[in-house]
Amino acid sequence: MGKGRIEAFSDGVIAIIITIMVLELKVPHGSDFASLRPLLPVFLSYALSFIYVGIYWNNHHHLLHAVQQVDGRAMWANLFFLFWLSLFPFATAWMGENHFTPLPTAMYGVVLLIAAVSWIPLARTLICSNGGADGVLGRALGGRGGDWKVKASLLVYALAIPLAFYLPVLSCALYALVALLWIVPDRRIELHLKHSA
């Protein structure tokens, strides 16, 4: 079973998710600066989510790059991950339109957390069907302290979610911090491919 179509389908879904988020930037009726101002938090949350979906696309690209085979299990793991990713537009718009009030900000963190958690079975399934822990992908992701970035992200999300009910601004700062951590793509796979080449 080739990986071409799973890449094409995921690219399509991720491209649509990243683009329909901009539809929440509703066109204001007035044409002065005052009518633009309430859009600022919507714009900021759009920018943050664009970065997050970009990170996931980037890592998805890296993950499948090192993969030779995709079986039925991996397809469902991929769809499971895409399902949670598809809630980004909703969570983003709710947080932005309510100007970072507690519950929407916490809910945004919950969606980030679930998406991060649903990434794990996708990576695991692909490692399993591509040589296991000793395959190229397995060694690439398992080495050098393992998935410390994944673990750190989950920890920060788990902290930021309850924090949103007291200091939602700080939660947003933490979400942005995790994004920053991931903007550097996962070079481990690239390095390993070079070493094994």
Q: Does the footprint of a copy of itself cover residue 133 (CB under 8 A)?
A: no
Contacts of 19 (CB under 8 A, 6+ apart): none
Q: Does the footprint of a copy of itself cover residue 195 (CB under 8 A)?
A: no
- Helices 102-128 and 72-85 cross at an angle (nearest 10°) of 170
Applying CB under 8 A, which part among 18-26, 115-123, 125-133, 152-160 lies near a copy of itself?
18-26
The answer for 99, left when phi > 0, alpha when psi is -120 to 50, beta otherwise, is left
CA-CA distance, 156 to 10, in Å (whole number)?
27
Between residue 84 and residue 103, which ones bind a copy of itself under the rule CB under 8 A?
Answer: 86-87, 89-90, 93-94, 97-98, 101-103
Q: Residues 50-79: x/- map of binding to a copy of itself (CB under 8 A)?
A: x---x--xx--x---x------x--xx--x
Query: What is the three-class DSSP state of 168?
Result: helix
Q: Tell me the torsion sign for CA atoms 140, 146, 147, 149.
A: negative
The footprint of a copy of itself (CB under 8 A) covers 1-2, 5-9, 11-20, 22-25, 27-29, 31-33, 36, 47, 50, 54, 57-58, 61, 65, 72, 75-76, 79, 82-83, 86-87, 89-90, 93-94, 97-98, 101-104, 107, 183-185, 187, 190
